[in-house]
Chains A and B, each alone.
Chain A
Amino acid sequence: MTATEVVFYIIAFFMIAAGLGVVLFRNIVHAALALIMALAAVAGVYVILSVEFLALAQLVIYGAAVIMLVLFALMLTRSRERPQAVFGKNRPFAVAVAGGLLAAFIGGIVATEWTQPARDDIEPVPFQEIGDVLFSVWAVPFEVVSVVLLIALAGAILLSLPDDEEER
């Protein structure tokens, strides 16, 4: 077991723990904070998998922008009434279903014969190559995604506008 593997397992542990925190914390702000940790852990996994570019993007977009949006949404929608039940009535069943899904996944993974490449063959992915590919082969999808993003932002603004003319 190499040092990389050890680091991976530690990161994976934190990631799962933070994920459970997101799901289980009764206080929603705590859950949001746990989400930051989980996302950061995912960025760590990307680093382990030698995709530093993606790890940076993850940190910048998720860790900053998305979390900020979520926190804003939380602040905007704090219920003024008494706090309600955090979890739904069908929680045990939901947990069982999620467990079943996990069992199915792990069963599938274990049952499959993976063709493992030699570990030494795996190299870090250089930024420059990703950039080249992104702006040559994937240029059109990239542009489409940027337009989608723009439309989504405009739509979000439109959605959150007040109905009445006077309130604008």
Chain B
Amino acid sequence: MPPLENVLVVSAILFSIGVMGVLTRRNAVAILMSVELMLNAVSINLVAFAVYGRIPFGNFTGIIFAFFVVVIAAAEVALALGVVVRLYRSRATVNVDEVNLLKW
């Protein structure tokens, strides 16, 4: 098994890549994909802590939580894609730079 630090570092790297994607991409679907990367990084973190800290035996919290994250992510993707489709229908674009009604 790899040391805990290494797993955490890998997940941190993946999370940061996701952040970079969210900040740089302009396509709403691409941003959504980057968010998925971030979610997975967090799940890895949760699982790692659950597995490495599973003494005394029987602490599944982190694993269950990761499982819930997967489920919620599915729901979130379904909704977000609905929003994206809606957005596309009303503005004929999914470029977030052009969606700037949320201001003064």
Interface size on A, residues (CB 8 A): 87
Give CA–CA (A138, B93) in the complex, Å: 42
A122–B43 CB distance below 8 A = no
Q: Does the CB pair B48–A90 fall under 8 Å?
A: no
B interface bracket (residues with beta carbon within 8 Å of A): 35 or more
What separation, in Å, do the CA atoms of A35 and B71 have in the docked complex? 18
Are B70 and A87 in contact, with the CB atoms below 8 A? Answer: no
Instruction: Check if A149 sits within 8 Å of B54, measured CB to CB.
Output: no
Seen from chain B, the residues whose Cβ lies within 8 Å of a Cβ on chain A are 1-10, 12-21, 23-30, 32-34, 36-37, 40, 43-44, 47-48, 51-55, 58, 60, 63-64, 66-68, 70-79, 81-86, 88-89, 92-95, 97
Q: How far is the CB of A165 from chain B (nearest CB, A)?
A: 16
Bound Cα distance A119, B64 (Å): 22
Let me know if B36 and A77 touch, CB within 8 A: no
User: Chain A nearest CB: distance from B48 CB in Å?
Assistant: 6
